[in-house]
Amino acid sequence: MLMLLASVLFAAWLAGYRSRMAMRHLGSHGQRQRLVSAVFASMREGVVVTDLEGRVRVVNSAFRSISGYAEEELLGHKLSMLKSGRHPSTFYSEMWSSLARDGFWQGEIWNRRKNGDLYAIWLTISTVPDASGAPYSYVGVLLDVSPLKQSERQLDYLAHHDVLTGLANRLMLLTRLQKVLRQSRQPEQGGALLFIDLDRFKHVNDSLGHPAGDELLCQVAVRFGECLRETDLLARFGGDEFVVLLEGVASANGAATVAEKLLQGLARSFLVCGGNEVIVGASIGIALYPRDGDSPDALIQHADSALYNAKSCGSNAYRFYAEAQTRAADERLAMEVALRRALDHDEFVLYYQPQVDARDGSLIGVEALVRWRSSQRGLVSPSRFIPLAEESGFIVALGDWVLRDACAQARAWLDEGVPLTRLAVNLSARQFRQPDLVERIRAMLDGNGLRPTLLELEITESVLMDVAGAMEKLGQLASIGVRIAIDDFGTGYSSFAYLKSIPFDVIKIDKSFVGDIGRDQASSRIVATIIQLGHGLDREVVAEGVETAEQRDFLLAAGCSSCQGYLFSPPFPARELDAWLRGEPY
């Protein structure tokens, strides 16, 4: 704006200079008068001449256009009639003092048009002396800067609001949060920050398209707004994440009440894109200030940590931040870094657990199980690092390593004359979704000279939830001869429909059922039913987690002879398994 004003003032000076030069060449006084009048009338800047008391003596057409008043409505009246009421009386006192002292004043001033609208001008006032040098009148030159002000307001709005929903954006949230944290040093002056993440939003985007997702976000924003006070700040943090800043809510109960209202607001379905009905839930993490953080970054981080905890509890849940969550999050981050480094430092090793015929103890096959011998943590339980690997996506790289190493070991055993007929390897859902999975597996088998029927891929029931996609991929694997086992059967998405339609070879009974044989009648009946189901589908059934003779005998009586568990053998490193196969001490 300053550059624009500078250019305007320069243009006005240049015009004045040129007019003075022109008047030197005009002979008569009348000609000079006509020229001055023409310049005065044609100027785009408003010009007003007043007496020393501020009464209007002369105005040009630009001034009349800007103010909205006709000439007869201005002449003889004081310019104070244009006052907006936005400036204190001291503002005008200082302006008149400057004129009296310096003969000049310049600045931004707000006036009111005839229709009542407020407008901003950049005003330059100069004192005009008479022949004796005494002040005679004032000349004001003004530029209407309302369009610039409007542009500034629009830019400011765009800088602080989300374009899609019209809510506050991240910048406005951080600015407001910084302000309230400075003012809230005592718990009773505090409030709460609620970090909200929509559940199942990605499914809406993927199935109905991004326009439907955008429409849903706008409707969610309206629903959330209906649950809040006017003083609460609702911001879109990004994607499908929202943040609510509650001021003056010092208790956990108050924040919990708001969280419950927000979740309840999502209970009704939404209609998007011409009537498509969708349902979404949300997870909410809550951090209280100043207790849980005295800076915006800390408070947001802690609310996000609580959100992560809420999501682990399922949809439509809220959780408060606890300091232990930060320690757990730090440990999780450190372990994730160490996990990725472990692959480069050869800290992973494969153990193999035999699968046997329980009738005579003969070897059927082996299952490859990954173990982590961390240089800093020692032997890390798979229950700790496998879920983390799956969440972070590292399971794909780790799974590829397991497949390569297991295939190489199978080749070595076959070369040594070990009667290996089955190599079982777990395949994660993320690996299963890799578009080039079949090609990579074929390359690993060909590279080690292994028959495809030797490899048995164990998948969990969750992989089968996308039945159409699963059928296509499983069909491709079956076409090259790879065997498929449904692992942990009975603990996930069990459906007779997919059992009839998908290609698979083996059902593995989860150890949680096998472990309760003889102690819980329901588990025993479930095991017997799964065995009957497998036989009815002409599929092999393998029981895992067999640890007692009683469990073995029950399984044999029910018709399941393929077993795996500590009763027969624990998992071994490859070298120790060699000794076990030969019946040697290990």
Q: Which two tokens stand for residue 438?
A: 């079949």
- Res. 14: pLDDT tops 60: no
Distances (CA, A) of 585 to 101, 352, 577, 579: 109, 17, 10, 6
Give dist(CA 533, CA 549) in Å, integer.
24
Q: What is the largest CA-CA distance in the chain?
A: 131
Q: 125-134, 226-235, 249-258 — which one is most confidently predicted on average?
A: 226-235
pLDDT at res. 207: 85
Using one digit for the tens of pLDDT, what is the confidence trace for 344-389? Answer: 899 999 999 999 999 998 899 999 999 999 888 888 888 888 888 8
Residue (of 328, 388, 329, 409) closest to 572 by Cα position: 409
How confident is residue 412, by pLDDT bands cut at 50, 70 and 90? very high
- Res. 23: pLDDT tops 60: no
pLDDT at res. 323: 65
Burial of 547 (0-12, 13-18, 19+ CB in 10 A): middle
Q: Which two tokens stand for residue 384?
A: 């700790």
Global pTM?
A: 0.52
Contact yes or no for 311/196 (Cβ under 8 A): no
Give dist(CA 314, CA 283) in Å, integer.
8
How confident is residue 324, by pLDDT bands cut at 50, 70 and 90? low
pLDDT at res. 22: 47
CA contacts within 13 A on the Cβ side of 247? 17
Contact yes or no for 127/99 (Cβ under 8 A): yes
- Res. 186: pLDDT tops 70: no
Instruction: Output 128-136 pairs: Cβ under 8 A, ≥24 positions apart.
Output: 128/49, 135/52, 135/103, 136/52
Residues 6 or more apart whose CB falls under 8 angstroms from that of 196 comprise: 224, 241, 242, 243, 244, 262, 282, 283, 284, 307
Share of the chain above pLDDT 70, in %: 87
**570 upstream amide cis, omega within 30 of 0:** no
Using one digit for the tens of pLDDT, what is the confidence trace for 433-488? Answer: 888 999 999 999 999 999 999 999 999 877 776 667 778 889 999 999 999 999 87
What domains lie within the chain, and their CATH numbers? 43-150 (3.30.450.20), 161-321 (3.30.70.270), 332-581 (3.20.20.450)
Q: Which amino acid belongs to residue 545? A: G
pLDDT at res. 433: 87
Using one digit for the tens of pLDDT, what is the confidence trace for 73-91? Answer: 999 999 899 999 999 999 9
Residue with tokens 């005679």: 136
How confident is residue 2, by pLDDT bands cut at 50, 70 and 90? very low
pLDDT at res. 26: 46
Give dist(CA 415, CA 419) in Å, integer.
10
Give dist(CA 382, CA 359) in Å, integer.
30
Give dist(CA 200, CA 270) in Å, integer.
13
Phi-psi domain of 332 (left: phi exceeds 0; alpha: psi -120 through 50; beta: other): alpha
Distances (CA, A) of 239 to 211, 244, 302: 13, 15, 19
Least confident range from 415-424, 469-478, 547-556: namely 469-478
Identify the DSSP state of 83.
Answer: B
pLDDT at res. 187: 58
Q: Report CA dihedral (206, 207, 210, 214) to the nearest 10 degrees.
A: -110
- Res. 34: pLDDT tops 80: no
